[in-house]
Every structure is written in C-alpha cells, then in structure tokens.
Structure 1
Amino acid sequence: MNKEKPKNLHNAIKSNIYILSIAFKLCPPRVIMDIAVNLMSKLVSFYFLLIIETLVKGLQRNEAFDKLVLIVVINSFVLLVIKGVQCIYNEKTKLIYDQILIERMNLMVFGKAFEADISCYEDAEFYDNYTKAAAEANGRIIKVIDTISNILSGIVVAVCYLIKLATIDYFSVIIVLMPVLATSVMGKRLKLLDYKLTMENVSHNRKKDYVKRTVYLQKYAKELRLYPIFSVLQEIFNEAVENIIKNIKKYCYPMMGFRLFQRLFAGSLPTIGFMIYKVYKSIREPAGISDFTVLFYGVLSLSGAMEVLLYNLITLRTDSLYIDNLKQFLNHSPSIKNEVNAIPVPERIESIEFVNVSFSYPNSDRPVLHNINLKLHMNRYEKVSIVGHNGSGKTTFVKLILRLYDPTEGEIRLNGINIKAYDLKEYRKAFGTVFQDFNIFSMSAAENVLMEDAEPGKENLVKKSLEKSGILDKVLTLKKGIYTMLTREFDEEGEVLSGGQNQKIAIARAFAANSNVLIMDEPSSALDPIAEDKIWDSLIEVSRGKGAIFISHRMSACKLADKIYLMERGCITEQGSHEELINYNGKYADMFKKQAMNYQSQE
C-alpha cells in the first residue's frame, strides 16, 4: 500500500466497489435505500428550480392567482412527502440498518481475527493492521455507501442542472465549472494530508488505548496500587499525546491553506464571476426575469452540487487508502489452516509422535525446541508429565501439539499421520486444555465452564465439572448460581473471584470437555497445597480412559504420571517413570529432592 500517493481514480473506484459489494452482501436494503433516498433528496433542489420557473413565468403571463396558489400547494405537498420519506429514512431506517451492517461487518473482522495464526498477535505490523481494520469496520463501510450514493445522485443532479442552464446561457455554465474543477486539485491534496495524519497517529493512539485499558481493567488493579508503575504508564500516555500534537502541528498549516483556497474557489468565485458576467450581459442584452431567476438560482445550486460531487470523488480516492487496510486484513491467509482434503480426527487417539521436531518463534533465530523425538502412547491411557525449569520449552511443546504453531522442522503425527492432514477445528476439539495463563470471560460461570452457550440440559454437566474442580459450593452461593456473571465488566451484580477460584473455573473446562486427551499446563499454580492435592486427584480420576499430558513445577504431581520427560533448553534430557528417574539420580532426581526439602522446611 502506497501511503504517500493516492491511487488513480480507476483503482480507487475498484477499491470502493470491493467494499460496496461486501456491504450489499451483508445488508442489501441499506445500499439500495441509501442510493434511492439520496437521489430523491438531491433532485428536490432541481425540482424546486422548476417550480420557481413555472411560477415566475406564470406571473409574467398574468395567470390567475388561484392557479398559481394551486401549483404552490400541490408542489408543497409533494415536497412535504419527499421530506417525510427522508426523515423516516434518516432518523429510523438508516440508523437501524447501520447497526445491522456494523454488526455483520465486525463479525466478519472478528472471524478473520479468529482464523489468524497465534503468531500474528506477536507481530506489531499485523496488530497495527488489525487495529486499523477494526476501526474501519465500525464506520468506513457506511462512509463508502454514503460517498458512492452521493456521487451517483450528484452526477444525475449535475447533469440535470447543466442541461437546463445550457439551454438558457451555456457560458454561465463554463463560468461555474472552471473554478470548481480547479478546487479538485486542492481537495485531493487536503485528503492526502488528512490520511497521512491519521496513519502517522495510529501507533500513538494504540499506545493511548493500551494505557487506558491497563488503568481501567481489574486484572492490573493490584500492581498499579502496589508499585509505582503508573508513572511509567503516564509517561507512555503523555508521550503518545505529545507525538499526536506534533503531527497535528506538522500538517495543520498546509491543511488550512488548502482548505481556505478550496472554499474560496468552490464557493465565492463562481458566484462572483456569474454576477459580473450577468451584469455585463444585461447592460448589452437585457434578459427576461424568469431566465435571470432560473440562471441565478441554478448557478448557485450547480456550484454547490459540483462542490459536493468533487468532494465525494476526492473522498472516494482517500477512502480507497483506508479500504486497503481493511482489504489487506480480510485477504490475510493464515499459515495454519485446513488442507484441501482434510480428514476427520479418529474417535480414538492412540499415539502422538514428535519426529525430528525443532521450532523457533517467528522473527527469532533462537530455537526453542531442538530435534525432539518421542512417542506418547495414548492408547494405553498414558499419563505423561513434562517437567523442566522456566523457558525450557514445556509450554511451546504443548502449543505445537495443539497446532497453535507448526514445527519449523520435522513433523508431529497423530495415529501415525501428520497432524496437518486433519480438520483443524476437529483436531483441536480432541484436546481438553487448560493453560497457566487462562482467561475468565465476562460471561456466566456456566458459559465459562462449557466455553459455549449454556443451553438447557447442560446444567448437570456444569455442576459436576465445578464439583470435580472444587468450586461448586462457592458458585452455588452466588446470587444466580452457575448463571452468575463473572467479572463486573457488563453487570454490576457480577462476581469477581480470587485467582485460585478462577483457576478452578478454568480446570472445570477440562472436566466438561468431551475430549480424548487432557492437556494441563500448570493447572494448580494458583492453588494452596490442600486444594492442589484434591485437584490432582480429580484430574487423575477424570482422565481414566483417556490420555493426559501434565506440565507442572510441582514435582510431587509427577509421581502420578506413567512417564516423565525432563526438558532442558528445548531438549529431552531424561525420560522414564518417577522411580526410574529417581534411581537414575540425574537432574530430575536433584530437582525433586530440592523441592521436597523446600516443602519440608516450610512445614
């Protein structure tokens, strides 16, 4: 996308038609009615010109007063009906359809964001594009409809005026058109400067929005009150505002100059030029009052219509630059997606195998996993524990299994088949997963457990899952039980739970999921030792007849696993049962003994 130079008109029209076609697909009545009502609205002024001409000529012919009054009454009624239609459309119909269109457009953007790779959210350029696309989804599509309908109706009305005025005095038309056309160059420059100002402020506005979210959100409240970090946030916010002001000062003076020049040429000069011309011509060739009236009113109306038409043509070009942000985002193709002939996931998962798997995060040369080769036997309902220090690659290992990322080298196989061959949505549903950095949504407790609509008939499943995670008694004491809103984001009567209670809600998701394999990434990190023991007992119980992969810093939980893999710096350095690794007396045994000593000293 060229940020410095506006597109030519042909490409600008193509971009606008692209977004108009989306609008028509999402909400056809909004597009059709806007063009129709806009055309009717624009033609009112020309219709009024014809009424004035009829009345003036009637007066010149000394027609009966009753006849002239009847013309006024009938045409006033017609104009009243037109204004009524406009009012209903603008004050009701348009507003309703705007909300429908914005909703559907945002859902399209949300869907595209949902399809995007997880790695995209770690890419500042992608996130900027997403921010721009989200902003454009809220208003640009409506602006494009309005602009195109203004252009179409403006062309029709301008042609009507040109034909009418040319039949009386074609030179008057030339006087009007020349300065108005000259302003198109100024308008183009003005729109380009406005676009560049907006784009240069995107990153600064994003910083402002981040600070506002951080200050308002509950999850940051404790740190903001316990540490002087607010001063840093304040500096970020102030710096963003200062940079925005610098950009405004950078562009305001040339923008003021172009705008003043544009208004002078488009508004004042055509009228002054016409007045001078008609005075000169009237001295030489006296004209009829009706022709003069029609010309005077017509010139003023044509000048205004041409100014609006040119403004919208310039807006069309500028809109195309904004549309590119949205178009680029909507056309983004994720790297992790279904193959053309994706196959269904088997009902029974027998094995998960890593074959020469290495991985580095995007835009990083540092490998996180190195040549991993292992086979997890899920057909034996094997319970596997992945242990290691922070940064050893444990969570990345899980992300690769879930296909949130694809390996940089090697492949992962499920039942002997590369996981890329399976239907992506079905494949991920085969795993019941709880990450250590889980999130609680501003929804009911039931919806937070099911992670979908809490449909009738699922109440028992929710309660059993909450009971297994040890949080049912607490949830039942809430005002609306399992249907209580968690967080107070949208509901003042919502409940704000503690970190440990939220973690139990997240763990209940795994119990509620009808999945073949459980994956738990630090499932008890926020729990006290007693609650932790209960959770692990529940996890082992619920994983009977299923495979399970556990990641935990708590070495005592490893004793429950059938097989343990120790990861160090992205490599598997030890593997075996708890007893085998203790007897091996390597790194795992050392970690286990040190942690056991820490627990004993705490007691």
Structure 2
Amino acid sequence: MMDKASVFKQYFAYWNNNKYFLSIAYRTAPRRVVLQFVLTIMNYTVNYLHSILFISYVFSAIENNTPYSRILIFISAMLLIVFLLMAVSEWFENRYKPVCDLAISQELNRMLFAKAADVELACYENTEFYNKYTRAAKEADQRMALVLDNLTEFAGALVSFVLLLVTAALLDPVALVFMVIPIATKFMITVRRNRATFELNQANTAPTRVKNYVNRVAYLESYAKELRMSAIFSVLLDRYDRALGVMRANFLGIGRKAAKYRALDDTFGMVAPFPLSILYAAYSALIIHKIKIVSFVVLLNTINNLSRAVANLSTFFTNLQENSLYIDNLREFLQYEPAIAQGQPGLRSDNKKPKLELINVSFAYSADAEPILRNISLTVEPGEKIALVGHNGAGKSTLIKLIMRLYDPTTGAVCVNGNDAREYAVDDYRQLFGTVFQDCKVMAMSLADNLYMRRAADSEHAQAQEVLERVGVYAKIASLGGSTASVLTREFDEAGLVLSGGEIQKISIGRLFTGNSRIAILDEPSSALDPVAEYKTFDLLLRAAEDRSVLFISHRLSSALLADRIYLLEHGRIVECGSHQELMALNGKYAEMFHKQAESYQEEERTIV
C-alpha cells in the first residue's frame, strides 16, 4: 500500500508529464493554448451566471416588482453574452483550432522522426525500446488533444467549483457540510480507483502487445502469403486466445477492484451530495424558514452544478494519470541519448583514398551476451576488393555494420587513415560508404528520388536513366510505360510501378553510381539473382567501382573469384585469408565449401538437362 507522500509524488510526476506536453503545444501555438483556456473558463463562468445569478435575479426581480423593461434588458444582455461566446467557441473549434493542431502535430511528429533517425540501429533491435517508440508515434496527435482538453476542462471546472462554493456559503454555510464531506470522501476513493486502474493497465501491457501484434499480422500485406500457405496462423490465434485469457483474468481480478472503486467514486461524486443537500435545503426553506424560496431554488441549482464540477475535477485526475502513462513512454524516447548520434561532431575525413583497418575488433549485442565477433583484424587498402564469406551466422553482416558505424565495437577499433572511426563526425564518416543491403528497400517516391536517395533535380533524370540502363533494369521499366519520373509502389499512386525483388536490388545497386562514396559495401546485393546473373552483376559492380574500395558478402563463392583478397569467417573469427588461388591451394575450409557449391551447380545443370 502506498503512503500519502508516495501518492503525492506520483501525482506530481503525472503533472510534470502532462506539463511537458503542454509546453510543446504552447511553444508551437501559444495563442491557441491560451484561447482554449480562456474560452473554457468563460464557458464555465457563463454557465454559472446563467444557472445561478440569472435565476436569482429573475426570481428576485419578480418578487420585488422590478419593471419588466429592466428584466428584459438583463435577459437580453445575458442572451447576447451567451450568443457571442457560442460564436467565438464555434470559430475556435471549427476554424482556428484545427489549423493550429496541424502545426502542433507537425512539431511533435518532427521531434519523433528526428529522434528515430538519430538513435542507433541497436534501438530498433531492442523490442522494449521499439515498442515504446511505436506506442509514442501511434497516439501522439490524439494524446496531445486529450491532454489540452483535460487541462483546460480542469481550469474551467476549478473556477466553477470555487464560484459555486462561495455561492453556497453565502446562501447557507451549513449546506457546505453536506457537500464537502462526500466530496472529500470521493477524492480519497478516486486515488484508490486510479491506483487500481494503473495496476490493471500494467498487468495488461504484455498481453495487449501480443493481441496488437496478431491484429497487425492478420492484415499486413507482407505476411499475407505465409498466412495463406501454411498453418502458422493457428499458432498466432493460439497466442491471441491465451493473451485474451490473461486479460480476462486481470479484468476479473484487478478489474473487479477497480470497478468497486468506480461505483463508489460515482456514488460519492454524483449521487451522495445531491439528495443530502436537497433534504437540508428543503428543511431550511420549508420547515424552519431559514432561507427564502428563491434562495432554495438557487441553492438547488448550486448543489447540482457543484456535483458536476466535482465529477469533472475527479475525471481530471483520472485522465491526468492515463495521459501521463503514455507521455512517459514518449518522453523516455525523446530524451534518450543515443550512443552513436547522427549529428555527433568530430573529425572530417579525407575521403579521396581512405585506408580501412580493423584492429582486434570484438562485438557482443549486450554485456551478458556471447560475442558475435572475436578479435577481427583486417586491412582494406584504397581501391582494394575484399570478399567476406562464410556460413549463415558467421558474423559477416554484423562486421559490415561495425565498419559503417551502425554499431561500435565492444573492444578493438575500426580505423580510417589511422584514426578511430569514433573520432570522426558521424554523418561525414558514413558518407564514405555506398551501401547495397540484402534487404534493400524502395520508397513510395519517384524512381530518380529512389536512385539518388534524395530529391532528384530535373537535370539529373538523364543520368538516372543511364545508370538504370547500366544495371539492366531500365528496359523493364520502359516496358511498363514508366520513366525515371514514375512513382514506385502503389502506396499513393494507382499507376505506380510494382517491381520484383531482383529489379529492386538492381535499383539499389544503381545507387552506388550516383554517389561520391569511396568504399562500396555490398551485403549480398545479388541474393535475388541466379548464379550467372549474380556473377555478371558483381563483375559490373567491380568494374564500375575501379577507383573505390569494395567489401562484399556473398554466399556463392563463385563471385569471390573477383576479389583481391578473401576472408572466411566462422563463429565470429577469421579462419582463413588470401586470394582465391591461395585458399584453393591451402585446401582448407574455403576450398571445401567451393568444391561443394561447384558440385551443387553441376548437379542442378544435370537435373535441368
């Protein structure tokens, strides 16, 4: 059980999280935030004037025989105030607020996008961190609106609450007792209700993640073929059912406690103060004649409005907590300090003839994990062509990521021209490399933009066509009626080009021809091609990169013949190194792998014939 000090600290933390969102909104659209506070407070105040002072004045005027003209002027003035406030509120809600909310949304999402681009690759491979980012990005816009609405409603309800308490005290101070006691009780129950709701949300976090994952997989195109060609969906459904079973148990256990407090909360907030106060007011007016009938009517309205104000104040604390739990994820993500920041300052590289060295490099994904790479040392001279070969899981792709500084070594160093890679400015260092990944991607943008990986100028489209012709994909694009200005994918354009995996890889290879990189990194760039096409592609790449250093990974050792030097990796270590002829003469593991692959290709040829 939490003590009072802990509860206070917890709610103070909730407030700080909500204030963080408020500061973002105020920084982006200050007038919009101020206007919402002012209009909300004015709406509550006008409601007070209408339901309390208006009725009090009219009844008193009739009782005192006030001239009808004066009553009419008063009523007209009240109606004019209400009309003007409604007109301004309508303008704010339907014209001004939506435009400002777009600006706030843009600012918040730009912060998220900037941080997502800045954090190191390891964050995307950390499930917990990635889940926090996706939750933050998913609800950012909606949650900002909820935070602003909750804070402004609290301000308005608080002003109304004070006005109503003062009115009740002026009419009959004793009536406050019948209001304050249930109100104080309600706030104590609200704290327990929020705590039970928090426990329920915490317990349901893990099963909700499973439920949402299955929901996602069920409709995403990238999973459609596997789901239809196998029985894997029954496994997913089993996980889905088990997750819902856990949630059901949580609702029956913790949820029952939350429901009990919710019922008590509503009783003391909306039900209890009203009848007790009415009975006392009726007793004062009709039995002991302590107050007049007009005061009795006003007191009834005060009690009714006070009950609503208390309910709104109570809702504020519930929403404050709920919003805070979400904002906590977002703040943790935005305030995360990346180990390898994109804008990290440092040395500027002389990228004309970079010499790459790895010195006793070892790497593990975490402190308690087994190393993926162990004591790797190699040198790539300017213009040299290097092949990295080995079975799956040998550490080849991880080694490439270390070279590009997507990760930093656990021990050892990656050096360029004698300087540790960590001493260079990150953006400048990464510009040394032109990359073609195995799982290359294209964006829903023009073909030229995808080739240059930026906004391509009109003058660059001719060069883009030449590059696409060199990598052997433009003929296919032309046959589809496309050009370098055509949009890839049909995400936003029904006439967009839809290309095969091999054709997309050729576009990715073409990116090497449009950049100024000095080291080409090829992580199985031809995995979607047949062996003959792969050899031709590598031959094209290596001839095109004659003035660059090249590191390439290939499972097909026939492509390694094109390399100046070959490194064979096994269990994270370099076990053999040399040219193809030297390794074949060594008659070790490389030679064994090469002979087995050659036999496999010959067997395929015999089967086809």
Fold shared, TM-score > 0.5 on shorter chain: yes
2:230 aligned partner: 227
1:247 aligned partner: 250
Letter in 2 for 1:120: C
The whole-number CA distance in structure 1 between the counterparts of 2:479 and 2:199 is 55
The whole-number CA distance in structure 2 between the counterparts of 1:293 and 1:490 is 62
- Post-superposition shift, 1:383? 1.2
Aligned length: 598
Letter in 2 for 1:373: S
Q: Residue 461 and residue 200 in structure 1: after superposition, are their counterparts in 2 closer, same or farther (change >3 A)?
A: farther
Deviations 1:67-91 (A, max 9, x none): 2222212221210111122222223
- Post-superposition shift, 1:530? 4.2
The whole-number CA distance in structure 2 between the counterparts of 1:119 and 1:72 is 67
2:465 aligned partner: 463
Residue of structure 2 aligned with 1:307, choices 305, 311, 323: 311
Q: Identify which range, 5-14 or 326-335, moves more after superposition.
A: 5-14
Preserved contact between residue 128 and residue 203 of structure 1 (Cα < 8 Å): no
2:281 aligned partner: 278
The whole-number CA distance in structure 1 between the counterparts of 2:137 and 2:452 is 28
Preserved contact between residue 567 and residue 574 of structure 1 (Cα < 8 Å): yes
1:29 aligned partner: 31
- Post-superposition shift, 1:550? 1.0
**Structure 2 residue 375 is matched with structure 1 residue 377:** no
Residue of structure 2 aligned with 1:108, choices 99, 107, 111: 111
**Structure 2 residue 341 is matched with structure 1 residue 337:** yes
What pairs up with 1:384-533 in 2 under 5 angstroms? 384-533=386-535
The whole-number CA distance in structure 1 between the counterparts of 2:343 and 2:461 is 37
Preserved contact between residue 192 and residue 318 of structure 1 (Cα < 8 Å): no
Structure 1 gap segments, 5+ residues each:
none
2:593 aligned partner: 591
Residue of structure 2 aligned with 1:203, choices 183, 203, 206: 206
The whole-number CA distance in structure 2 between the counterparts of 1:349 and 1:178 is 81
What pairs up with 1:343-354 in 2 under 5 angstroms? 343-354=347-358
Structure 2 gap segments, 5+ residues each:
none
1:576 aligned partner: 578
Preserved contact between residue 581 and residue 588 of structure 1 (Cα < 8 Å): yes
Q: Identify which range, 294-303 or 397-406, moves more after superposition.
A: 294-303
1:188 aligned partner: 191
The alignment-based identity, stated in percent, is 36
Query: Which secondary structure state, in structure 2, belongs to the residue aligned with residue 520 of structure 1?
Result: strand
Deviations 1:263-296 (A, max 9, x none): 2211122121221112222222342333223222
The whole-number CA distance in structure 1 between the counterparts of 2:15 and 2:340 is 33
Query: Which secondary structure state, in structure 1, belongs to the residue aligned with residue 387 of structure 2?
Result: strand
Query: Which secondary structure state, in structure 1, belongs to the residue aligned with residue 172 of structure 2?
Result: helix
2:364 aligned partner: 360
Residue of structure 2 aligned with 1:563, choices 547, 562, 565: 565
Residue of structure 1 aligned with 2:45, choices 18, 38, 43: 43
**Structure 2 residue 271 is matched with structure 1 residue 238:** no
Query: Which secondary structure state, in structure 2, belongs to the residue aligned with residue 564 of structure 1?
Result: strand
Letter in 1 for 2:121: I
The whole-number CA distance in structure 1 between the counterparts of 2:459 and 2:405 is 32
Preserved contact between residue 40 and residue 152 of structure 2 (Cα < 8 Å): yes
Preserved contact between residue 501 and residue 528 of structure 2 (Cα < 8 Å): yes
Query: Which secondary structure state, in structure 2, belongs to the residue aligned with residue 426 of structure 1?
Result: helix
Q: Residue 493 and residue 186 in structure 1: after superposition, are their counterparts in 2 closer, same or farther (change >3 A)?
A: farther
Q: Residue 10 and residue 242 in structure 1: after superposition, are their counterparts in 2 closer, same or farther (change >3 A)?
A: closer
The whole-number CA distance in structure 2 between the counterparts of 1:505 and 1:364 is 40
> Could you say what the CA RMSD is over the residues aligned between the two structures, in angstroms?
2.4
- Post-superposition shift, 1:395? 0.9
Query: Which secondary structure state, in structure 1, belongs to the residue aligned with residue 567 of structure 2?
Result: strand
Preserved contact between residue 200 and residue 255 of structure 2 (Cα < 8 Å): no
Deviations 1:534-583 (A, max 9, x none): 32232123212111111111222122222222222222222222233233
Q: Residue 140 and residue 193 in structure 1: after superposition, are their counterparts in 2 closer, same or farther (change >3 A)?
A: farther
Query: Which secondary structure state, in structure 1, belongs to the residue aligned with residue 415 of structure 2?
Result: strand
- Post-superposition shift, 1:349? 4.0
The whole-number CA distance in structure 1 between the counterparts of 2:269 and 2:303 is 12
The whole-number CA distance in structure 2 between the counterparts of 1:246 and 1:39 is 42
The whole-number CA distance in structure 2 between the counterparts of 1:80 and 1:479 is 60
Query: Which secondary structure state, in structure 2, belongs to the residue aligned with residue 481 of structure 1?
Result: coil
Deviations 1:236-278 (A, max 9, x none): 2333333333333333322322222112211122121221112
The whole-number CA distance in structure 1 between the counterparts of 2:305 and 2:409 is 66
Query: Which secondary structure state, in structure 2, belongs to the residue aligned with residue 566 of structure 1?
Result: strand
Q: Identify which range, 353-362 or 282-291, moves more after superposition.
A: 282-291
The whole-number CA distance in structure 1 between the counterparts of 2:381 and 2:593 is 26
Letter in 1 for 2:490: R
Letter in 2 for 1:182: T
Preserved contact between residue 401 and residue 407 of structure 2 (Cα < 8 Å): yes
1:77 aligned partner: 80
- Post-superposition shift, 1:96? 3.6
Q: Residue 241 and residue 155 in structure 1: after superposition, are their counterparts in 2 closer, same or farther (change >3 A)?
A: same
Q: Residue 246 and residue 492 in structure 1: after superposition, are their counterparts in 2 closer, same or farther (change >3 A)?
A: farther
- Post-superposition shift, 1:367? 1.7
Query: Which secondary structure state, in structure 2, belongs to the residue aligned with residue 482 of structure 1?
Result: coil
Q: Identify which range, 68-77 or 246-255, moves more after superposition.
A: 246-255
Deviations 1:383-433 (A, max 9, x none): 111111222111111010011111111111111111011111222222111
Q: Residue 481 and residue 181 in structure 1: after superposition, are their counterparts in 2 closer, same or farther (change >3 A)?
A: farther
Letter in 1 for 2:230: Y
1:260 aligned partner: 263
Preserved contact between residue 151 and residue 309 of structure 1 (Cα < 8 Å): yes
Deviations 1:361-395 (A, max 9, x none): 226532221111121112xx111111112221111
Preserved contact between residue 56 and residue 298 of structure 2 (Cα < 8 Å): yes
Q: Residue 314 and residue 589 in structure 1: after superposition, are their counterparts in 2 closer, same or farther (change >3 A)?
A: closer
Q: Residue 321 and residue 600 in structure 1: after superposition, are their counterparts in 2 closer, same or farther (change >3 A)?
A: closer
- Post-superposition shift, 1:131? 3.5
Deviations 1:92-121 (A, max 9, x none): 433343343233323322322222222223
Letter in 2 for 1:347: N
